[in-house]
Structures are given as structure tokens and as C-alpha cells.
Chains A and B, each alone.
Chain A
């Protein structure tokens, strides 16, 4: 009886969840439509203000609650002790910059910030351009995209079966890289332990995932290049490479910068890959990983927040570059 009842409540639950879902989406759509319907009928004077209310305010409210508020709180906590009870001045920052490992961590973060975005965007652009000329790009694109659909836990296992090293000669290798090295006549080494190679091996995992992102966005941008321009360059007899460097790249420069910036931020924040694959050992740690350890392992919100703020300062040059670029682009228009 119990089981039957449980089955029944499960069905009921499923039904109520589905109706709830449909209702939520409907209500949301109706609200948006109603807002537009009203706004379009308002006088021009009212519209001048309503347009901000409708288009900008919702995003700002959400951003304030979800992003700006917590960011300010992080800044505040970075000047306080482990549990946030007492003001400690700059002590947490002092701690961060006097840790012996910090130079190592900064260096690794730097490598990540430069190599990971360039490689992901480079591969993404290459594939976007190559498949743009293909008759049936669907399968190729889907395969490149697939890693994006794999959770980090899944990605961790996948690459474990690549980098795994078996120290005992009598036991077969289960890591693909070691096996390939053996086939080629080399003696496999303990890949994940070899610094600085290991940082690059971790970056490969990140690039493997992020290339799909770069490819999709860049591919969309390439497809948005007006036909006339491509056509003109084709009639001019421009070679493939010339068309790529003189037409395609300049036309999508804005998108390339956006992709680079987004992936750079992702690389700055990366810690899941490091956490699952090396746990930050073997000189592979980065700031985001240390931040996570401090906040959630050592339960020291003060030092964790200070590291988050340092991360934030690290992104400022990138912001400056984007500002300059946006200004220039607006001026050109």
C-alpha cells in the first residue's frame, strides 16, 4: 500500500511541478507582453522614463542583489578577521603577499590568464573558419562542442584516463598519454607531477572545454558578416588566407575581444579543474583555488575575501582594454 501511495504522490508531484513550470513561464511571458503593450501606448514623454524602467531596471536590481551587494560584502570582509567579527585592517592582504607560495600562485595565474584564452580562442576561431567552408559542419561542430556539455566531474575522470601514470612497471598503463609515450618508445613520466608541464596539462583540459564556447560565438559572428563583403573579396580574387586576415578577422574583431575577455575571466576563476585533478598540489595552484581553500576549507572568510579582491584587481587591465576598444568602436560608427 505504501509503495502504491508513494507512486501516486510522485505522480501528483510531477504533475504539479509541470503545471507550476508552465504557469511560471506563461506568467513571465504575459508580464513582459503586458509591459510592452502598455508602454507602446503611452505618450512619448512617459516613454522617455518608462523605457529605462522596463529595459534597464530589472537587470540592475538583479545585478545589485546577486553581484554588487556580495562584491561589496566581500570587500568589507577582506578587512576583517576569519569570522568577520573584528576589523583587522590590511592584515589579510599582508598575509596574502607574504605567503611563501604566493609567488608560485601568482605566476600560475599569470600563465593561465595568457595561455588559456589565447589557445581556446585560437582553436575556436580555426574551427569556426574551417567549418564555415564545409558542406556539413554539423557533426564536426557538435564533437568540438561536446566537452562543454560534460560536467566538471565528468571532465575530471576523462582526463584522468589520459594523464594517469602507473609507477609499477609490472602493471599495465591505464592513462592514454603514458600508453602513447610507450608506443612511441619513450618512458612515460609522472605527467601531473612534473612542474611546470602540469600547469599546461591542466590548461589543456580547460581549453578542451572552452574551445566549444569560442567556436559557437565566433562562428555566429562569421556568419553575420554581410555576404556582399565576402562576395566582393572573392571577386577580387583574394586567397583564402588573405580573406581570413583582411576581411574575416577585422570584421569580427569585436567578437574576438569579447570571447577573449570572457575566457580570460573564466581562466581567472578556474578552480574546479585544479581542485579535482591536483588539489592545488605539485605547484599548480592558482588564486581562485587558494581563495576557495581559505573560505571553505580553512573557514577563514577574511583571507578568502582578500584573495577574491586581489583577483578582482587582476581583471582591471582587461577592463581597461575593453573600455579603450569600445570607445574606438563607437567613434568609428
Chain B
């Protein structure tokens, strides 16, 4: 029985219990707001009783149920029903529904690029002044900027994740006397050391992800771009003011190749392309490899599907325990962070839609959601104490303390590149041993003109 399953069970049990008390109290007392929830905090969202709001998203079970749970009190106090509608086909379906005239009330955008495309349809509604003010108050300017298209603010940030992590097993590290590297060269030296000891493979990597295969490779590129080069170069690269096959990009790919294309580190290089990203991390749990670079969210998958336990770096005696260290910069004091997140935009300017959008930016909701587990955001009002998972706690600290923070670059590039050639070429780079130059030239060529 894994941690997540246990948690799910527990929630099931409590909700059943809550239902029971609801029925009982509902039968004994008459009107008197059966749940006894204090609705004072929801004053700002009142006046939309009986409305129904659909939130369209790519986030589905089991996270969807947790979202739905976090809305319960809001729904009860305001009379607004929130329907969380999650589907794997979100990216393809949203444009169809918007163009077809059945747009959802709110949509959760995982990529700023898609937001831009939807704004271009003219069907999106700019965020209300209240939402805009709340975004100013609770989010950094860079986060607000990702929800802004051509100077108009549309979408407020929702959840966040931090990608600059290397996952490892503290027990394995302690047993072998390995130390946490703090610079890129130390990381390579450690990899050499592990490889020469020959007990385990230094790295596990998996690029596989169905029709999104290759995105793990783009994350590697982005993280290293922030380290080998600087934030300004990163922006030029993402905005294509610098060509994709520039020497600076080539330098980054070369560094990435030192790990990803080294059979001594990763074993069978071409198999990276067919190993799913979930399986990629599994090697940590069964002890077949030592390190795995992946975003904060992989912990949930490894614990639910592969029996891992998420621990702190100090827990060196937990079998199957995994945690993270910061993906080091070229120097120890360089600490840029790469992350991602979602943004909530509206296609409906009704009071209810705006109320929900506003509520999602509030510290109250963010704390409530974080307390339900496995989630955090970049909201300034988020109390770290509400984030239970040690890795996510660490991620929140990184979000707050990073010298430079940049959003997932491929998500901000035009979809033809960021969800197309960049994925495909990174995959071919490992699968077919395509040369650095051929890869970068092909991506540059695919960049949409105009």
C-alpha cells in the first residue's frame, strides 16, 4: 500500500463520514446552514447563487478530485457550482470548442503559448480589475507576465512546479559515501565516480510520453541554458531573437550530451527515447541507478506507481526513500530555477466566472489546496507550513529564493516548435544519434515565419 493510495483511502473515508454527519445534522436541525461552515470569508464572491461554472483542464484523476474537494466550501457558501472537467485531449479540444461556440467558462492553460493562440481567436475575456489587482498582490511580476498577452492581462497563475531538481536516494548516497554536488563539474565528477565503481548506473533518463515524447529532453536543455548561459540569452532563445542553431545553444546541447549521450552514465542511449518518463524515475526506487533529473511532480508518480517514499535528505535509512538536490549551476553561487505552471483564463465574463477566477488567486484557496497535498503554487500568500511533502516544501523555497526564475521555455515557444520540432528533434538526438548540428538546424528551420 503506497502513500498516495493510503491518502486517497483516507479521504474517501472522511468524505463518507462527512456525508453521514451531513445527513444526520440535516435531519436534526432544520435550516441553520447544515454544514456549519463559516461563510464570512466568502463575502467578496457572493451574488452568484445558482450559477454553474465549468473549469476545463488537462488535469484529471486523481488530482481533479482534490481540486473539486478544495472548492467544496466555496461552492456551499456562494451557491456557485464548479465543474472540474479534465481530459487528456485538452490541447486539441479547447480550440475546437472555442471555435465551435461551446467554449468552457474557465480554462486552465498549461502553456502560455496556447493562451496566446486562444486570445487570438477573440473569444477570451480579459481578467477583471479585481483579478488583476489580486495577481499584482499575490504573484511576482514575471508570473503575471506569463498570463498577459499583448499588454492585456488574461490569466492568473494557478499551480506551479519546479524543474531544477535531481532526484536521488539518500540511503544509496549515504551507503556509498557519495556527496551532493554543488557545481556542474562536481556533478560530472560524481557521475564518473559512480560509473567507475560500477555498482549502479549513474543516471536514469526517459523521454517517452506518448505523442509528447521528447519533452524531458527540452527540460534538460532549458535548465542547462540558464546555467551555461544567462537569463538574457535564455529569453533571446525563447523569443527567437537569437537563432535556434546559434553557437550559444550548441554549447548547451554539448553539455547536455555529456550526460545524456554518455553510455557509461545512462546505459543504452537510444532506449532513452522509448523509456517513458515515469519508468525513467523508477530506476531510483529499485536501486538500478543513482540520479534522475526531473521536476517536482515525479515524486507523486514514483510513490503511487513504484512504491517510493518521499523523504528529506537527512533520512538516510529509509529503503526506497527518494528526495532531491538542486540541479547545480556552473558555479555554486549561481542558483537559477526553471519551473512551470498553469494559468486560468476566462471565456465568460459572468460574475460567477470572475468570482471563481478571483477565488483561485486568493491565499485562502491556495493554502487550502496545498494542505490537501501534492501541490503548491507561486502565490505569495502560500504558507510553507501547509505544504507537507519535503520536496515540494523545498520547491516553494526555491521559488521564493531563486536568483533567476524562468518559465518552461518550450511551453512559451510557438507550438510548432515547443510542442513539435523541439520534442521530435531531441528524441531523434538520442534515438538515432542525430548530430547536435543537424538537430539545431532542423529546429531552426521549423520556426514559423512572421
Q: Are chains A and B touching directly in their complex (CB below 8 angstroms)?
A: yes
Give residues in A with beta carbon < 8 Å to B: 1-4, 82-83, 100, 165, 167-168, 170-171, 190, 192-193, 275-276, 278-282, 292-293, 296-300
Beta-carbon contact of A167 and B120 below 8 Å = no
**Cβ-closest chain B residue relative to A191:** B274
The answer, yes or no, to whether B402 is at the interface (CB within 8 Å) is no
* B243 at interface by CB-CB < 8 Å: no
CB–CB B210/A297 < 8 A: no
User: Known contacts A276-B211, A281-B431: does B267 contact A167 (CB below 8 Å)?
Assistant: yes
Interface residues of B, dominant DSSP: helix
Partner of A275, one of B27, B201, B210, B445: B210
In the complex, chain B residues whose CB is within 8 Å of the CB of A171: 283, 286, 288
**Can you report 6 A-B residue pairs in the complex whose CB atoms are below 8 A from each other?**
A4-B23, A82-B448, A170-B288, A193-B271, A279-B423, A281-B424
Mark B residues whose CB is within 8 Å of A: 19, 22-23, 26-27, 34, 91-92, 95-96, 117, 120, 201, 209-214, 267-268, 270-271, 273-275, 283, 286, 288-289, 414-416, 419-420, 423-424, 427-428, 431-432, 442, 445, 448
Give A278's nearest chain B residue, CB to CB: B213
Q: How far is the CA of A315 from the CA of B27 in the complex (A)?
A: 67
Residue contact A167 to B271, C-beta cutoff 8 Å:
yes
Closest-by-CB residue of B relative to A276 is B210
Instruction: Report chain B residues within 8 Å CB of A298.
Output: 414-416, 419-420, 448
Contact yes or no, B120 A279, CB < 8 A: no
Could you say which of B92, B212, B270, B423 contacts A193, with CB atoms under 8 Å apart? B270
B419 lies within 8 A of A281 (CB): no
On chain B, the residues within 8 Å of A168 by CB distance are: 201, 267-268, 283, 288-289
CA distance A122 to B58 in the complex (A): 41
Other-chain residue from A2, A100, A276, A300 in contact with B22 (beta carbon distance below 8 A) = A2
Residues on the A chain within 8 Å of B273, using CB:
193, 281-282
Closest A-B pairs by Cβ, 3 of them: A1-B26, A167-B271, A167-B268
Question: A1's closest neighbor in chain B, by CB?
Answer: B26
| Residues in chain A near residue B424, CB distance under 8 A | 280-281
Contact present for A279 and B211 (CB under 8 Å): yes
Query: Closest A-chain residue to B113, C-beta based?
Result: A299
Q: Which residues of A contact B34 (CB under 8 A)?
A: 1-2
CA distance A170 to B268 in the complex (A): 13
Known contacts A281-B431, A298-B420; A2/B267 CB under 8 A = no
Report whether A282 and B431 are in contact in the complex, using a CB–CB cutoff of 8 Å.
Answer: yes
Residue of A nearest to B92 (CB): A296
Q: Which residues of A contact B431 (CB under 8 A)?
A: 193, 281-282
Partner of B419 from the list A278, A280, A297 (CB cut-off 8 Å) is A297
Asked if residues A2 and B26 are in contact (CB atoms below 8 Å), the reply is: yes
Are A279 and B201 in touch, CB under 8 angstroms? Answer: no
Query: Which residues of B sit under 8 angstroms from A82, Cβ to Cβ?
Result: 448
- A-side contacts of B267, CB under 8 Å: 167-168
Residues from chain B with a CB closer than 8 A to the CB of A100 are 442, 445
- Cα separation A148 to B120 with both chains bound (whole Å): 40
* Given A165-B271, A298-B415; A1-B27 close (CB under 8 Å): yes
Asked if A167 contacts B419 (CB within 8 A), the reply is no
> In the docked arrangement, what's the CA distance between A300 and B96, Å?
13
Is the CB–CB distance between A1 and B274 below 8 Å? no
Residues of B within 8 A of A281 (CB): 213-214, 273, 424, 427-428, 431
* Contact in complex: B271, A297 (CB < 8 Å): no
Q: Nearest Cβ in chain A — how far from B283, in angstroms?
A: 7
Question: In the complex, what distance in Å separates the CA atom of A50 from the CA atom of B213?
Answer: 56
Is the beta-carbon distance between A192 and B19 smaller than 8 angstroms? no
In the complex, which residues of chain A have a beta carbon less than 8 angstroms from the beta carbon of B96? 296
In the complex, A120 Cα to B194 Cα: how many Å?
A: 51
B445: A residues at CB distance < 8 A: 100
A2-B26, A168-B201 known; A299+B270 contact, CB < 8 A: no
User: In the bound complex, what is the Cα–Cα distance between A192 and B271 (angstroms)?
Assistant: 10
Q: Report how far A167 CA is from B448 CA in the complex, Å.
A: 37
Residue of B nearest to A271 (CB): B211
Of chain A, the residue at the smallest CB distance from B419 is: A297
Using CB atoms, name the residue of chain A closest to B272: A167
B residues within 8 A CB of A278? Answer: 213
Cβ contact within 8 Å between B22 and A190: no
Apart from A193-B274, A299-B95, what are 16 other A-B pairs with CB-CB below 8 Å?
Answer: A2-B26, A3-B23, A4-B23, A167-B271, A168-B201, A168-B283, A171-B286, A193-B271, A193-B273, A275-B210, A278-B213, A279-B212, A279-B423, A282-B273, A297-B92, A298-B420
User: Are A299 and B117 in touch, CB under 8 angstroms?
Assistant: yes
Which residue of A1, A170, A190, A280 contacts B211 across the interface (Cβ within 8 Å)? A280
Contacts of A282 in B (CB 8 A): 273, 427, 431-432
| Cβ–Cβ < 8 Å partners of A83 in chain B | 120
Note all chain A residues with C-beta closer than 8 A to B268: 167-168, 190
Question: Are A297 and B442 also in contact (CB < 8 A) when A165-B274, A167-B271, A275-B211 are?
Answer: no
Complex CA distance for A299 and B93, rounded to whole angstroms? 11
